[in-house]
Copies of this chain bind each other. A is one copy, B any other.
Amino acid sequence: MAKSRVATVTLGLLFLLVASVHAQSAPDPLPSWNDGSAKQAIIKFVTATTTTGNPAFVAPGARFATFDQDGTLWVEQPMYTQVVFALDRVRVLAAEHPAWKTTEPFKSVLANDDAAMAKFTMKDLEQILIATHTGMTTGQFTAIVKAWIATARNPRWHRPYTDMVYQPMLEVMRYLRANGYRTYIVTGGGQAFVRTYAQQTYGVPPEQVIGSALETQFTYNAAGEAILMRPPKLLINNDFSGKAEDIYLFLGGPPQAAFGNAAGDRQMLEYTDSGGKDALMMIVMHDDAVREYAYGPANGLPASKIGTFPQSLYDEAKAKGWNVISMKHDWKRIFPFEQ
């Protein structure tokens, strides 16, 4: 009896030791996340959908997760990065367009008139986008964006825009990829713009970037080689309903997980939710005015025209069991460059 009890105790200790060693040897896949319901939901989702025999199991080739970019993967305040790019391009191109000095909306841009720019209509922005994003080959546009993004700096942190990515979200993307998921960016921003840096910044290759896209026009250069021009004609407006429709266009069905932060992500989240009861829907809530920004108007945060997170989307998330990520409470660390 005594011997057997000792053996049992020893076995129990051994088990505890092994379990503890095991726990220590499996590194936390999400070290920048505080323990809480958001982190637990991600780990639970990955475990369930990748465990053979689990009713939620998804075959490796069919694992897809989609991420909005602006406000979900990187900072979108005080202005979308691609709009900053467009305004910078107006300044560069002004030398070739003397009339811009006296013609709106270019005049306000060249005068750095922030008050006037804040009042730009959709038509003003469209004029600026046409002037800065069209009329060149696809290769020329890529080269222009690459040169800009290598030198431009975020005004608050004085760092490259590609540094303004959220460390916790990079960890989620890596964790998903390590478990056989393909991580797609599904952005209202320009597909050609985001593709220039997505591989290096997020580990997302060009074919996994779904974004708003111009038509392209096949033609030949002087040497008779095939080229694609960028005419001023929008093919895909990848925002709101467009996100769901374009995920279907590219993937043929809903992903198993989707991450967004604003009204424009609602339909992507709903489409993901339609795929089955084990789907994961998450919304990043910007509620940390000290470390980043705080805006809503969901949850009583200050309203914002950039990345609007309406109360109705917050309420829908709560009603449907989607996860709202609090940057303030769920994230230990915001940016990779922080220590």
In the bound complex, CA of A245 to CA of B137 (Å) = 12
B218 with A241: CB separation less than 8 A: yes
Copies in the complex: 2
A61 with B274: CB separation less than 8 A: no
Report how many residues on chain A are interfacial, defined by Cβ distance under 8 Å. Answer: 36
Indicate whether A252 sits within 8 Å of B215 (C-beta atoms), given known contacts A225-B274, A226-B270.
no
| A148 interface contact, C-beta 8 A | no
* Residues of chain B within 8 A of A216, CB atoms compared: 245, 248-249
B248 with A138: CB separation less than 8 A: yes
| A317 interface contact, C-beta 8 A | no
* Residues of chain B within 8 A of A207, CB atoms compared: 64, 250-252
For the complex formed, measure the closest distance between the CB of A275 and the CB atoms of chain B, giving whole angstroms: 9
B213 with A249: CB separation less than 8 A: yes
Query: C-beta contact mask, A216-236 vs B, less than 8 Å → 1, else 0?
Result: 111000000111100000011
| A267 interface contact, C-beta 8 A | yes
| A253 interface contact, C-beta 8 A | yes
For the complex formed, measure the closest distance between the CB of A138 and the CB atoms of chain B, giving whole angstroms: 6
* Residues of chain B within 8 A of A259, CB atoms compared: none
| A180 interface contact, C-beta 8 A | no
Indicate whether A226 sits within 8 Å of B138 (C-beta atoms), given known contacts A216-B248, A244-B218, A249-B216.
no
| A166 interface contact, C-beta 8 A | no
* Residues of chain B within 8 A of A225, CB atoms compared: 270, 273-274
In the bound complex, CA of A205 to CA of B245 (Å) = 18
Indicate whether A252 sits within 8 Å of B206 (C-beta atoms), given known contacts A215-B245, A244-B228.
yes
B235 with A249: CB separation less than 8 A: yes
For the complex formed, measure the closest distance between the CB of A323 and the CB atoms of chain B, giving whole angstroms: 18
B218 with A271: CB separation less than 8 A: yes
| A195 interface contact, C-beta 8 A | yes
Of residues 164 to 206 in A, which have CB atoms within 8 Å of B's CB atoms?
A: 191-192, 195, 205-206
For the complex formed, measure the closest distance between the CB of A133 and the CB atoms of chain B, giving whole angstroms: 15
* Residues of chain B within 8 A of A284, CB atoms compared: none
Give 6 closest A-B pairs by Cβ, nearest first. Answer: A206-B252, A218-B241, A226-B270, A226-B274, A226-B271, A216-B245
B274 with A245: CB separation less than 8 A: no
| A209 interface contact, C-beta 8 A | yes
B245 with A61: CB separation less than 8 A: no
